[in-house]
Structure 1
Amino acid sequence: MHETTPHPDPGAKLSFADVTHVGDGLDRPESIHVSPDGGLVVSHRARGVSRISKDGRVTTHGPDPAWVNGAELVPNGIAPQADGSVLIANIGEGGGIWRLTRDEKLESVVSVVDGVELAAANFVMSDSEGRLWITVSTVQQPRFNAYSDKVADGLIVLIENGKPRILADDICFANECRLTPDGGGLVVSETFARRITRFDLGPDGLSNRQTLVQFGRGDFPDGIRYDRAGNLWVTCIVSNRLWRIAPDGSACLILEDRDDALIDRVETALSTGSMGREHFYDTGQSRLGNIASIAFSDDESRAYLGSLCGTSILSIPVPQGDSA
């Protein structure tokens, strides 16, 4: 395995002129999935999810407003299911993993594992074996107390055959995770450590922890996804950069629209221990809205980007010669 440290300013293959917008009126479309019919499913704050048809029509689903455990539902990662329901990782104060049913009801899936509350559930993913993979950014409440590179109490949780267990409890603000293409490993974004970490995956859980990618100034990895060629694509909030990491470890900057003044503010806050929620809902002069997730069209000719602050989904062409 190759550890990668991307160059901070290599020049991107695409610019903001290559970006088009899909849908409108979205609220915190942090997580994005492509439906079998080519439409999009995205998270929607205080409701559940929005569905965007191929012709751009938006319909929003879920209770209005949606509250769980006495607090506003803040959908972060989502996982559409074959039965038409959607699993939701609630990063709001109510926490937990929830199922939004086809008739738009919210049902609790899991809120406590091994005696630990899933207070800041960040991500949920179902795999081909019927397992559920969950990350919890931190066990601290509020989660903003863990906006630091000195706090590492995030969780990786596996639900297998209906039984949940904690596989890791020392992740520095756990964000999205993905199985490696061969199924033999798991990678996870450690957002405030600014790295992608890889584990081997075996019957007993996770082992052989290694740094796959170590990012530098301004890059805070959030959403990650493999393409069919085995490249790992990484969205970074704050810097608003989209990276592609090849299997050989080489890094290619695909898109960026950064605001250096914003990066300076966030880096100063991180170094002084004063980082707060405002640093991620301040996009500065960037027009990408703090990109936080990525999905591909079926033929992988286009990539779709979700964000923390946008009101639409961003669509970009996958550069020729770099097909996913």
Structure 2
Amino acid sequence: MTDRTQTARLSHDAVTHHGSGLNRPESVHVLANGRLLVSHRGRGISRIAMDGAVTTLGPAQAQAGGHELIPNGIAPQADGSTLIANIGEGGGIWRLSPEGALAPHLEVVEGIALAAANFVMTDARGRNWITVSTTRLPRFDAYTDKVADGLIILQDETGARILADDICFSNECRLTPDGAGLVISETFSRRITRFDLTPDGLANRHTIAQFGRGDFPDGIRYDSAGNLWITCIVSNRLWRLSPDGTLCLILADTDDALVERVETALAEGRMGREHFYDCGTSRLGNIASIAFSADERRAYLGSLCGTSILSIPLHAINGDSA
């Protein structure tokens, strides 16, 4: 269980803003040229140049499955297109071409509609790892630790198949650094779960990090040292999980009154969308994803409510002033 008495290694004073005018920049990636690729509600993606200039790509008032496109996780592709996990009511995984055309990529797997597609990741072998938070409609009915119907899907050269269908609100997933396992955020059970990868799918499920009051794990990513970085919405905390299982609080800007409102709503079974789009007094905007610069001296944070991408200097954590 996380120790909420820890003092964060960085304060909000260390935060820098990149870009402006973004709309729900939930997912952030650092491209090879150093520019940022970010999800953009109602359009598709935004690109942030080194000087902060923003270019948005995608149809105006984009529709997916007859509803507004709400990009959550995004995955840049080698051909310049972008896969988009649409967490809007239309669901599904969509492909945005380099010219800005939107087309369905994957909407149904084994007869199940991908109604609340949360995340998509393309690995070095070209396989797509997809999560669906819940099969319930609306997805807000699964804002509880009493529902565990989230999916993990693998799409490879043989097609798409469901590897797990009992995740408590599936969020981001990542392959472990050695490629032998998969970790996933189970947001409403407040834990990071690890599976071993086998020829038959997933095995040896176990918890590698358990969070407590206010912490709802969302975006996760490994660094080159094997540390898993975890963003938590509501609490607006960023944690680092070391390979030996130690959790270190890196950044926090928590509104205790907001945490109290959310925890009360959760306990009473009335938590809804409004609780994730209320930041209270926090200036981090409900941080929901993380990416690193090529030299890993800086981390970039996406959010549910921000209008820019945030970044923090990682070298400062180790006392490196260079």
TM-score (norm 2): 0.98
Give the secondary structure class of the aligned counterpart of 2:52.
coil
Find out whether 1:9 has 2:37 as its counterpart.
no
| Alignment-derived partner of residue 296 in structure 2 | 300
Question: C-alpha separation between the residues in 1 aligned to 2:108 and 2:86?
Answer: 13
Q: How does 1:159-238 map to 2 (within 5 A)?
A: 159-238=155-234
1:149 to 140, 145, 160: 145
Question: C-alpha separation between the residues in 2 aligned to 1:234 and 1:320?
Answer: 16
| Alignment-derived partner of residue 116 in structure 2 | 120
Deviation, 1:9, is 2.0
- 2:144–2:269 CA contact under 8 A, matched in 1: yes
Find out whether 1:38 has 2:34 as its counterpart.
yes
Give the secondary structure class of the aligned counterpart of 1:141.
coil
Question: C-alpha separation between the residues in 1 aligned to 2:280 and 2:64?
Answer: 32
Letter in structure 1 aligned against 2:120:
V
Find out whether 1:258 has 2:254 as its counterpart.
yes
1:86 to 77, 82, 94: 82
Give the secondary structure class of the aligned counterpart of 1:281.
coil
Q: List runs of 5+ in structure 2 lacking aligned partners.
A: none
Q: List runs of 5+ in structure 1 lacking aligned partners.
A: none
- 2:9–2:317 CA contact under 8 A, matched in 1: no
Q: What is the number of equivalent residue pairs in this alignment? A: 319
Give the secondary structure class of the aligned counterpart of 2:24.
coil
Letter in structure 2 aligned against 1:107:
A
Q: How does 1:270-309 map to 2 (within 5 A)?
A: 270-309=266-305
Question: C-alpha separation between the residues in 2 aligned to 1:96 and 1:11?
Answer: 40
| Alignment-derived partner of residue 59 in structure 1 | 55
Letter in structure 2 aligned against 1:165:
R
Q: Higher mean Cα deviation, 72-81 or 157-166?
A: 157-166
| Alignment-derived partner of residue 318 in structure 2 | 321
Question: C-alpha separation between the residues in 1 aligned to 2:190 and 2:124?
Answer: 29
Identity of aligned residues (%): 70
Deviation, 1:82, is 1.1
**1:260-292 per-position Cα deviation (integer Å, ceiling 9, x unaligned):** 000000101111100000000000010000000
Letter in structure 1 aligned against 2:232:
C
Question: C-alpha separation between the residues in 1 aligned to 2:286 and 2:59?
Answer: 26
| Alignment-derived partner of residue 72 in structure 1 | 68
| Alignment-derived partner of residue 102 in structure 2 | 106
Give the secondary structure class of the aligned counterpart of 2:318.
coil
**1:44-68 per-position Cα deviation (integer Å, ceiling 9, x unaligned):** 0000000000111000000001001
Question: C-alpha separation between the residues in 1 aligned to 2:137 and 2:280?
Answer: 27
Deviation, 1:322, is 8.2
- 2:10–2:317 CA contact under 8 A, matched in 1: no
**1:178-219 per-position Cα deviation (integer Å, ceiling 9, x unaligned):** 000000000000000000000000111000000010000000
Deviation, 1:79, is 0.3
Deviation, 1:321, is 2.3
Q: Runs ≥4 in structure 1, deviation > 6 angstroms? A: none
Give the secondary structure class of the aligned counterpart of 2:224.
coil
Deviation, 1:320, is 3.9
